[in-house]
């Protein structure tokens, strides 16, 4: 099962601004292909990603992004970096979690995207795009 037929051809931002769950402001550039996963509270697909081990997606930088902060302890305990950045979600045209995009910063493009059903499904969908990088 694929979560999306084809990615929409569109640019990706070179970086992002946001806030960590501890309230620290962050501003960073994407240096390597990065998997950005949109998450929210009360979302089972999101929770499966938040609780997944660090290497579940393979050899790719991973960033979990929420439009608003959560008090859920699993977000703080996640092996993945979690930031709050509605601005990044808007720049990526991500309108609903759980959704992922794979960013290629070298070309400034979204190379793959889809709905999250499970971490394993996302890994399967992005693997060929990582090999091309």
Rounded CA-CA distance 31/124 in Å is 22
- Domains located in the chain, CATH noted: 15-131 (3.40.30.10)
Average pLDDT, the chain: 92
What pLDDT is stored for residue 60 in this prediction?
Answer: 96
Q: Please tell me the pTM assigned to this model.
A: 0.93
Residue 50 has pLDDT above 90, yes or no: yes
Contact 40, 66 (CB under 8 A): yes
CB-based contacts of 98: which residues, under 8 Å, 6+ apart?
A: 37, 38, 39, 40, 43, 45, 46, 49, 115, 116
- Positive/negative CA dihedral, 79, 21, 74, 125: negative
């Amino acid at each position: 099962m694929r979560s999306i037929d084809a990615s929409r051809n569109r640019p990706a931002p070179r970086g992002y601004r946001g806030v960590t769950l501890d309230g620290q402001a962050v501003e960073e550039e994407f240096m390597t292909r990065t998997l950005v996963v949109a998450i929210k509270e009360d979302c089972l697909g999101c929770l499966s990603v938040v609780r997944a081990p660090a290497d579940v997606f393979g050899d790719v930088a991973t960033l979990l992004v929420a439009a608003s902060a959560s008090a859920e302890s699993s977000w703080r305990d996640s092996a993945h970096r979690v930031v709050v950045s509605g601005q990044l979600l808007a720049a990526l045209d991500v309108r609903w979690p759980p959704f992922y995009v794979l960013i290629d910063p070298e070309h400034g493009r979204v190379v793959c995207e889809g709905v999250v059903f499970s971490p394993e499904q996302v890994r399967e969908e992005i693997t060929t795009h990582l090999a091309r990088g």
